[in-house]
Structure formats: structure tokens, C-alpha cells
Amino acid sequence: MAPSADTPAQPPGASGCLVLGDGTVIWGKGFGHIGEAVGEVCFNTAMTGYQEVMTDPSYDSQIVTFTFPHIGNVGANEEDVESKGLGALGCVVREEVTPHSNFRAREEFIEWMAANRKIGLSGVDTRALTRRIRMAGAPNAVIAYSPDSTFDIAAMQRQAAEWSGLEGLDLVPNVSRQTSEDWRGNVWQMGFGYGEASSSSPHVVAMDFGAKDNIFRTLVRAGAKVTVVPGRSSFDEIMALKPDGVFLSNGPGDPAATGEYAVPVIKGLLDADVPLFGICLGHQLLGLALGAKTAKMHQGHRGANHPVQRVGEGWGESTGLVEITSMNHGFAVDGDTLPEGVEQTHVSLFDGSNCGIAVKGKRAFGVQYHPEASPGPQDSFYLFEKFVGGL
């Protein structure tokens, strides 16, 4: 059912709804976890990897609208989970979820959604909802599922309208590890699953702001020994681990809010000439530590088909090459605010927004996109080799 500026009557059999902050009610069929949740509605254009998307901690406090209509048709399994118990609040899909048809499936997507307390809504005109987001920006909303079709629409409208939104929110405490750990897993291979880490050096300390597990696996594949530490770790705690390099992970929320405690640590690492590599939120935090500014985007970038071009002089003969990338971000570094000595290395070919920076004279760089994929193309794995190989 297409979104409407009015509040349509509840259709017979409607067991789920999405209530936007402006009062719009979108009806459908609920599935997964029974209940309701408030967050920001965004859209993702990936055609595969819905389970990885739903367990990406960067989606904390968000409701994902999938533009691909057939979500759930390959079921769910434990191997495609990017984090335990974290990720998106729920999802909105076009077609009703059907029984799976895939040899890797271990359970139905509906069952997996319920077990992981994520709310689903099917039967929605996701094309119309996506168009609305593109035109008006990502709205705040409440998603709800009630098998007996009982909803307090007025209360949900108030909750959506009164929710603060993502600007100014530090969501890292919701998703970051609370203790340090030595990472053991390697990348997944068909027929073998996940391998074991085997390298003892170089040693990369990864700050977990809400990381996807495949980032750590890909660092291991590139040859690193990885120690994962909480996002609020201090400079002294990190340096006590004797890192050869420090990785700054992805994560949710407003980078300016997280930066209140993360930026001083990153500045200390820069002053100590510790090699740095940041992805997504980590890239934004590196930008803030260098003196740039970040801003909320109108609709954000989320999908597995985003073209990014290398533009920085530091990429030599590869300057001008285009990578197809995975993205998931609603904030970005303002490329016009980069200070002297910081080079813009990558830009989005969709809108020209900043997608990469490097510090001249230091081994410190970051990218806005997700080179570890999961889901998505693997054009950008070279960045892990560039980082680990230089340590």
C-alpha cells in the first residue's frame, strides 16, 4: 500500500504498520518480533545480503526499507551475521516473505527476525516510500507488528514526532564491545566456513565503534594480528597494547557526538605517528580529528552498487579508477572543510560527496564506504592490504 499524506483506514487483516512523524500511516502485514520500535527510516538498494544489512551495527536506531522486492527468499543462517544482537530495528519490504530456497539456509527469515527481536513489515509500496525519502529526507517513524491487528496509532504518531532523530546522538555505547578481545576468525570460504587467524604481526588494534565482523576478518586475511578494543578506550590503553597500527571502525549515530571522546584519542595517535585506517564512522572521526567538519546527509548512501572514484594524487597511476562499493552512512565529511595537509582521495560519483581522505606526510587514511563488502563487491579489498602491508 502506497504512503499517503492522510491517515488511511486500517485495512482488513493489516497486522503491521509504519507511522511517520508527520502522521502518515502505512499499513501492511507484520512479521518477526511482536512489538513496536522508533527510529529513522532509510532505504538500501542492495539486491543481496539482507541478513548482513540487518546485523550491521551502523543501522542502530534505523528501520531499513529494502528496494529489492524479494527479501527473505534465501532464508537465514549463522554465517551471514555481522554482529550478535545488534543492527537495524526492523525492515520494510514489498513482497510477503516466502519459504526459503537456498542450500545455506538454516531457518526462515521470519523466524530469524523474531529470534533477533527485529520487526518486519511486508506488503508496502517500497518504491513510493523510497521516492518519499529521496524527496523529503529520512523521516522518523514507529514500526509495529501486532498479530491481533490492535494499534494505538495516536500514541505512535506522538512517539515518532517527538523522537529526537539521529543528529546529536552518540549511539556507540549501544553497540561497542565492553571488553578487549583477540580476534580469531578469517574470511569465509565456500565449503570451509571461517578460517583461523595465524599471524603474530603486524599488530593492529581495532577501536570498535560498532564494527562489522568481516572488517576484522579482512584485516586478518591481509596478514594482521587483530586486537579489538571498546570504542571508549583511552590513548594510554591503546598504546599499552603496543600497536603497529590502529583501525577505526564503522558505527552508528552522529560522528560529532561520538567525537567528543573519540577525537582527542585519535589526535593523540596522530601526534604519536601511529598508522591509522578508518572506515565509515571511523573515517568521519579521523576527519574531525584533523579539523574537518561532518554533516547529516539528506538521504544518505546505503547499498552495494555505489560508484566511487579515486582522485587523490597519492594513488599514482590508479588515479581516476572507479570502484563499485558498499555504503551505509547518513553523515559525511564535508570535503570543503578539509584543512591544509589533508588530501581528498575518493569521491562519490552519485553526488560528489567525500568518500576518502589521506594525511600528507603520515600513514593515516580513511574511506567512507565499506571495503570489506558483506554484502557487496570486493573492488576495495586492496585498502586492507595497503594498510597492513605498510606496517
Domain end, chosen from 96, 128, 162, is at 162
86 with 181, same domain? no
Number of domains observed in the structure of the chain: 2
281 and 134 inside one domain: no
Residues 6+ apart with CB under 8 A from 196: 184, 185, 186
Tens of pLDDT, residue by residue, the chain (391 residues):
444 445 678 999 899 999 999 999 999 999 999 999 999 999 999 999 999 999 999 999 999 999 999 999 999 999 999 998 899 999 999 999 999 999 999 999 999 999 999 999 999 999 999 999 999 999 999 999 999 999 999 999 999 999 999 999 999 999 999 999 999 988 777 877 787 878 788 999 999 999 999 999 999 999 999 999 999 999 999 999 999 999 999 999 999 999 999 999 999 999 999 999 999 999 999 999 999 999 999 999 999 999 999 997 766 667 899 999 999 999 999 999 999 999 999 999 999 999 999 999 999 999 999 999 999 999 999 999 999 999 9
Same domain? 65 vs 96: yes
Q: Does 3 fall in a domain?
A: no
Q: Are 184 and 267 part of one and the same domain?
A: yes
- Domain boundary pick from 162, 181, 198: 162
Which residues are 331's β-sheet partners? 296
Q: Which of 33, 306, 346, 370 is catalytic?
A: 370
Task: Give the CATH number, domain containing residue 329.
Answer: 3.40.50.880
Residues 52, 82, 323, 372: which is the catalytic one? 372
Are 224 and 182 in contact by the 8 Å Cβ rule? The answer is no
Does residue 2 lie in a domain region? no
119 occurs within a structural domain: yes
Residue 282 forms part of a structural domain: yes
Residue 156 three-state SS: helix
141 found inside a domain: yes
Any domain includes 167: no
Task: Identify the three-state secondary structure at position 355.
Answer: strand
76 and 184, same domain (yes or no): no
pLDDT given at position 6? 57
> In the chain, what percentage of residues exceed pLDDT 70?
97
What pLDDT score was predicted for residue 302? 98
- Which range marks the domain in which residue 200 is found? 172-389
Do 71 and 188 lie in a common domain? no
Statement to judge: residues 237 and 368 lie in one domain: yes
Catalytic residue among 17, 42, 280, 355: 280
Query: Do 267 and 285 fall within a single domain?
Result: yes
Claim to verify: residue 46 and residue 144 sit in the same structural domain? yes
122-174 pLDDT, tens digit per residue, is 999 999 999 999 999 999 999 999 999 999 999 999 999 999 999 999 999 99
User: Does the residue 211 lie in any domain?
Assistant: yes
**Coil, helix or strand at residue 372:** coil
What's residue 317's pLDDT? 63
Residues 370 and 293 in one domain: yes
Here the CATH number for the domain that contains residue 150 is: 3.50.30.20
Nearest to 384 by CA among 272, 270, 273, 247: 247
CA distance 43 to 143: 14
Q: Let me know if 370 is a catalytic residue.
A: yes
Is the same domain home to 139 and 212? no
User: In this structure, what are the phi and psi dihedrals at residue 176, rounded to the nearest 5 degrees?
Assistant: -80, 150
Is 280 known to be catalytic? Answer: yes
**Secondary structure element (H or E) that encloses residue 63, with its range:** strand 62-66
pLDDT at 200: 80
User: Could you tell me if 270 and 343 lie in one domain?
Assistant: yes
Position 9 in a domain: no
Out of 110, 144, 162, pick the residue that ends a domain: 162
What is the side-by-side order of every strand in the sheet holding 354-359? Answer: 181-182, 225-230, 203-208, 245-248, 276-279, 364-367, 354-359, 342-348, 294-310, 322-333
Q: What sign results for the dihedral spanned by CA atoms 107, 112, 114, 116?
A: positive
